[in-house]
Amino acid sequence: MEISTEKTRIGFIGLGIMGHSMAGHLLDAGFSLHLYNRTKSKADDLVERGAVWEDRISDLAARSDIIITIVGDPKDVEKIYLGPSGILENAGQGSMAVEMTTSDPNLAQTLFDKGLEKGIQVLDAPVSGGDLGARNATLSIMVGGEKKTFEEALPVLEIMGKNIVYQGKAGAGQHTKMANQISIAAAMVALCEAMAYVSRAGLDPETVLTCISKGAAGSWSMDNLGPRIIKGDFAPGFSIKHFIKDMGIALESGKTFDLDMPGLDLALSMYRKMAEKGLGEDGTQGLYKLYESKE
């Protein structure tokens, strides 16, 4: 597929915390952009800027050369891709679908296989970087599927991200994202414990963070979410409820490899406590509240 802003029509489904910014970058790049979202009002500003609203997923799929999706969970992915009104039944032969939701690697393989039957190339391309990465077009994008399809899609992916890596066959992008989430889960527990320790010790948190973030303890989470914890800003760049979903997928995937992950188990149990407290819409840095509540 030859991609150009003059000829290539992009369909985009999912205008959440990250998807809205990602769609906006594609619109700014000059593509003809067709939108669908469960809540239509989230598309209003993009439509005012020139995007086209579609009332049905089937219409969006039929009118797009590339369909990009970033929705909530695997059940949402199945709903928009499969069945009579789904993407794979309505997209044209030779079109491409780029599934960017963090989802089940087995589902990614299923979509790839069913896409081949319909003459549609499907990539699994989950992202990392949260709301900041989406707004700044600096997302890390992990891609699975046919390499030729990846190479064709790369000019579009480069509009939304910076660290874009082909990981291998279908499902490889999702497996890579699971590795990412496993790493983050333990890191967030450690960061929140460290910040609670700083508070109990009576230290200045900004001074401590400036120091330890430049040493061996440094991480993306510390640089970006540590300052939010200090400010008491628990708004979601990535929400607890979605993180719980991701950790659950990772644990189930690990079972297929006969892999025990006690660190991930612990992190998941702590985040589930947050959800039980009605804090599932908080950002992942909201885990700090578990420690704060004991002060």
Domain positions in the chain: 9-169, 175-292
> For residues 99 and 233, what is the distance between their CA atoms, to the nearest angstrom?
30
Alpha-carbon distance of 201 to 186, in angstroms, equals 23
How crowded is the C-beta side of 25, counted as CA atoms within 13 Å? 20
List of residues 6+ apart from 192 with CB closer than 8 A: 229, 285, 287, 288, 290, 291
Is 177 designated active site?
A: yes
- Whether pTM exceeds 0.85: yes
How is residue 217 written in tokens? 């303890």
Amino acid at 253: S
Q: Are strands 32-36 and 127-128 parallel, antiparallel or unpaired?
A: unpaired
| CB neighbourhood size of 22 (10 A) | 25
Mean pLDDT across the stretch 128-151? 96
Domain 9-169 fold: Rossmann fold (3.40.50)
Per-residue pLDDT tens over the stretch 159-170? 999 999 999 999
The correct answer on CATH 1.10.1040.10 for the domain covering 175-292 is yes
Mean pLDDT of 96-102: 98
Q: What pLDDT, on a 0 to 100 scale, did the predictor assign at position 292?
A: 85
Considering the candidates 177, 245, 289, 294, report the single residue annotated as catalytic.
177
pLDDT of residue 295: 44
Query: Is residue 172 classed as helix, strand or coil in its secondary structure?
Result: helix
pLDDT classification of 294: cutoffs 50, 70, 90 = low
Q: Given a cut of 70, is residue 261 above it in pLDDT? A: yes
